Amino acid sequence: MIEGWITQLRKGLLEYCVLLVLRRGESYGYEIVQALKRMDDLSVSESTVYPILGRLRNENLLKVRDVPSPSGPPRRYFALTPHGKIRLAEMNAYWPLLTETVERLKTTQPKES
Amino acid sequence: MIEGWITQLRKGLLEYCVLLVLRRGESYGYEIVQALKRMDDLSVSESTVYPILGRLRNENLLKVRDVPSPSGPPRRYFALTPHGKIRLAEMNAYWPLLTETVERLKTTQPKES
DNA sequence: TAGACTACTCCGTTTGACGTAGTACGTAAT
DNA sequence: ATTACGTACTACGTCAAACGGAGTAGTCTA
């Protein structure tokens, strides 16, 4: 079905979405998950988001700061590093190119050959 | 670098693009590859497109018709099946939801907490 | 008969999404 | 004091797509 296709479509996109959320300021895992879950058509689970956070951190796009939580284990706050901001800017530049390409394909008329 | 991200972003999207190309009428592998290569920011290779055509065919979204070619081996024309048209319609419905979600994330203001 | 061009096909690697399960820490109720 | 509940993760394994590189097989041209 189409669910499998949607799973594939999300590849890379969720990484972008996480950076976009963090663009607004630092946040911790659970909060990021909630923020993305709130977006309809983007219902993600913990097991999807946490690996992304780990990867982005390994790539030095995110930095981490542990803060004691009022309820539960200490929160791990993530924030964009300078590298992360650059990467996000590159993504912000590329994404519209992609969507425009799709738009162009959608609107081209049938060939009459 | 960002190339890896772009590779991931294309997952699923190229499948959609192939169906969009075929929406204009039947076409054969080489022509589809050329059509997609012509799109800037979407430079694909044979080894990417042909597996997609095979998969779409296996899923009964495309039907095939062999036609002798004026130069070279017979061309394999691909065309949307009824199933393919339905799938394409579903994709056409979902894709804007995704792009709007990203747009929403891009435009939300930083929280002031 | 040797290129050159067309139209594919096959294989192996890399990477991301996601389900399931588990861990650890803290607060509140019994 | 123990149990139960909510928070915040972590680990593991499976599946599937993109893509590089190499190979194959027809046909036309010189």
Whether the per-residue pLDDT at A111 is higher than 60: the answer is no
Report CB contact under 8 Å: B6, A94: yes
Task: Express each pLDDT in A99-110 by its tens digit.
Answer: 999 999 998 756
A38 interfacial to chain B (CB closer than 8 Å): no
Tally the residues of chain B.
113
CA distances from B7 to B44, B59, B86 (A): 10, 23, 27
Residue type at position A15: E
Which pLDDT does position A109 carry in this prediction? 58
Q: For Cα atoms A33, A39, A43, give the angle at the middle one, nearest 5 degrees.
A: 60
Beta-carbon contacts of residue B70 (< 8 Å; ≥ 6 apart): none
B42 interfacial to chain A (CB closer than 8 Å): yes
Which pLDDT does position B87 carry in this prediction? 95
Which pLDDT does position B67 carry in this prediction? 83
Decide: CB of B14 under 7 A of nucleic strand D.
Answer: yes
Beta-carbon contacts of residue B26 (< 8 Å; ≥ 6 apart): B65, B77, B78, B79
A12: nearest Cα among B6, B58, B3: B6
User: What angle do helix axes B29-38 and B46-58 make, rounded to 10 degrees?
Assistant: 120
Residue of A13, A106, A109 lying closest to B9 (CB–CB): A13
User: pLDDT truncated to tens, each residue of chain B (113 aa)?
Assistant: 789 999 999 999 999 999 999 998 899 888 899 889 888 778 888 999 999 999 999 899 999 988 877 767 788 899 999 999 999 999 999 999 999 999 999 987 555 44
Domains and CATH numbers, chain B: 2-107 (1.10.10.10)
The answer to whether B85 and B92 are in contact (CB under 8 A) is no
Decide: CB of B36 under 7 A of nucleic strand D.
Answer: no
The answer to whether B6 and B41 are in contact (CB under 8 A) is no
Residue type at position A97: L
Task: Express each pLDDT in A11-61 by its tens digit.
Answer: 999 999 999 999 988 998 888 998 888 887 788 888 999 999 999 998 999
Give CA–CA dist B54/A4, Å, rounded. 17
Which pLDDT does position B113 carry in this prediction? 40
Which nucleotides of chain C have an atom under 7 angstroms from any protein CB? Answer: 5-11, 15-21, 24-27
pTM for this prediction: 0.90
Residues of A in contact with B89 (CB under 8 A): none
Which pLDDT does position B71 carry in this prediction? 67
Residue A66 banded pLDDT, cuts 50, 70, 90: confident
- The tokens describing B33, both together, are 């590859």
The answer to whether A86 and A79 are in contact (CB under 8 A) is no
